[in-house]
Amino acid sequence: MSRPQPHSHRPRPPETADLLVIGSGIAGLSFALKAAREGRVLVITKKSRADSNTNWARGGIAAGLGPDDDPSLHLQDTLAAGAGLSRRDRVEMVAREGPDRVRELMDWGVRFHREGGRLSLGQEGGHSRRRIVRAGDRTGQEIERALLAAVADAPEIQVVQHLMAVDFVLEDGACVGVRALDHRSGAPVELRAPVTMLATGGAGQVYRHTTNPTVATGDGVAMAFRAGAPVANMEFVQFHPTALYPTRDPAFLMTEALRGEGAVLRRMDGSSLMEGVHPRGSLASRDVVARTIHAELARSGAPHVVLDVSAIPEAKLEARFPGAMEGCRAQGVDPYDEGIPVVPAAHYLCGGVVTDDWARTGLPGLFAAGEVACTGVHGANRLASNSLLEAVVFSHRAALELRRAREAGQAPRDHWPEAVAGLPLPAGQATSAGIEGSDRLRLRLRDLMWESVGIVRHGEELSRALAEVEAMLAAVPGSPATDPPHSAVVARTLDAVESRNMLEVGRLIVASALQRRESRGLHYRSDYPGPDDVRFLSDTVLTRAF
């Protein structure tokens, strides 16, 4: 049977492949391009191939490529942002290997911005040097374009859209494939492969206000956890300080690079918000800036703060930040008049499925890379623009591990590391949620997470939130429906699968936040306002309670 081309309208997925990739962002696509040297690769994505968090990344990708920069400086900035929980060896590896991965992206056709023949490097919060490689303020979109074009030219790679992974297929404790749902027809599909790469992105949609696209429902973390893979550091959710107000769904992101070029955060009365709060002012790390904005809004009752861009020449704004200017105008905001109204919004999940140096998870046969993974790089707070870098470095290392195993004559799952030990997921005191239907469950979860598990948290609210999430989780269907495949049934089934995943990820976030009785990085508890290095200078690792 002839294999449909990657861009055919509705390709039929093969039942087996040599390598299976779930997700079509930078992690999944860069892995697919390299893994294609080892065999036939099937990439599945639950929406269209360009729907990914990568496509929404506006700032850029961090790498020590400047004449005044080097990996040791990048290492120190990342460790400082990570608030004691970043693994030094992993950060050092990413900082060291990062420049080569960026050059490789350019070899694949990514057109980063240049000035005078050299890469134009931007400045962002927490960085001591200008090291943000960018394509205007649409860097993720440009990376996605180039990788999709490269994949389309690779005959060994097939991409199937509108196919949602539901749960992993397990045999003898190893991952051997995935059960999926074709949400155009409602047909269940089982795909088998000796190796699977999980690259499904983050979970911003569990919060009412988020910069993440609608596909970011935490599917990969929930699937891996159900299958028995440990997850870690789910309490560390990064809130980007500057989403355009009023927020839409998703919120429009005002890139941090604006502050790198001179934009300043101000209160409604025009006074500087960050002056005296942090030595780097408006370029402090995201956790500091987001909490400061949160405190100001609570104190003043104002609906937003203002990002003052008047220090940036108009020509420079229009040339370097066309996306930001377009987004402002679409919402009737004149950035040159009274500045840009901004508020924090959920942006990035620093925790995820635990992986080793080679992107292997605690489940043999399953790799993970990108936002779905917890590699130890970000620690308690991700440094700006390190996410795309981490994704491409660990995808590269996963491909190297595949090649090493082949050259050694080993099966792909030989010598997989032992699973990381962790604590069983604690149960809340479930009560009746009084809510029926996946849509209502999802809306209530997003409100609950924003109100009780947001930028500032408290133990009593976290306990109540855990109980309510447990009750809602008990009310959502556990598996895809088997009704006839007409559009209404398919839509309800897809929604139920996503809602279950969102609730399970919400439960992991709340339970982890309850266990960490301190404040560190992105996790701030008003009942434990300081760090506790004696008891909590370690990862929060959870395992499924069988």
pLDDT tens-place string over residues 56-75: 666 799 999 999 999 999 99
Q: What percent of the chain has pLDDT over 70?
A: 88
Q: What is the DSSP string of 342-372?
A: EEEEEEEE--EEE--TTSB-SSTTEEE-STT
**Which strand (E) or helix (H) includes residue 265?**
strand 264-266
CB 229 within 8 A of CB 363: yes
Beta bridge partners of 541: 232
Q: What percent of the chain has pLDDT over 90?
A: 74
pLDDT tens-place string over residues 426-436: 665 544 444 45
CATH code, 243-344: 3.90.700.10
Using the predicted structure, report yes or no on whether residue 388 has a pLDDT greater than 50: yes
Catalytically annotated residues = 286
The token pair at 102 is 């960026």
Angle at 205 between CA 181 and CA 343, to 5 degrees: 160
Using the predicted structure, report yes or no on whether residue 482 has a pLDDT greater than 90: no
Tell me what pLDDT residue 116 has: 86
Using the predicted structure, report yes or no on whether residue 227 has a pLDDT greater than 80: yes
Tell me what pLDDT residue 468 has: 96
**Which strand (E) or helix (H) includes residue 140?**
helix 139-152
Tell me what pLDDT residue 138 has: 85
Q: What is the DSSP string of 289-305?
A: HHHHHHHHHHHH--S-E
pLDDT tens-place string over residues 514-525: 999 999 999 999
Q: How confident is the model at residue 367 (pLDDT cuts 50, 70, 90)?
A: very high
Class of domain 424-543: mainly alpha
Q: How confident is the model at residue 493 (pLDDT cuts 50, 70, 90)?
A: confident
Using the predicted structure, report yes or no on whether residue 49 has a pLDDT greater than 70: no
pLDDT tens-place string over residues 314-351: 999 998 899 899 999 999 999 988 899 999 999 999 99
Q: What is the dihedral of CA 500, 502, 505, 510, to 10 degrees?
A: -110
Using the predicted structure, report yes or no on whether residue 55 has a pLDDT greater than 80: no
Tell me what pLDDT residue 59 has: 73
Local structure of 508: helix, strand or coil: helix
Tell me what pLDDT residue 492 has: 66
pLDDT tens-place string over residues 236-265: 999 999 999 999 999 999 998 899 899 999
Total count of residues recorded for the chain: 546
Domain ranges within the chain, ordered by starting residue: 243-344, 424-543
Angle at 25 between CA 284 and CA 195, to 5 degrees: 120
The token pair at 85 is 């929980």
Local structure of 524: helix, strand or coil: coil
d(Cα 2, Cα 84) in Å, to the nearest integer?
53
Angle at 216 between CA 290 and CA 498, to 5 degrees: 130
Alpha helices in 438-542 (DSSP H): 438-452, 459-475, 487-515, 533-536
> Where is pLDDT greater, at 77 or 429?
77
Beta bridge partners of 114: 119
Tell me what pLDDT residue 71 has: 94
Q: How confident is the model at residue 20 (pLDDT cuts 50, 70, 90)?
A: very high
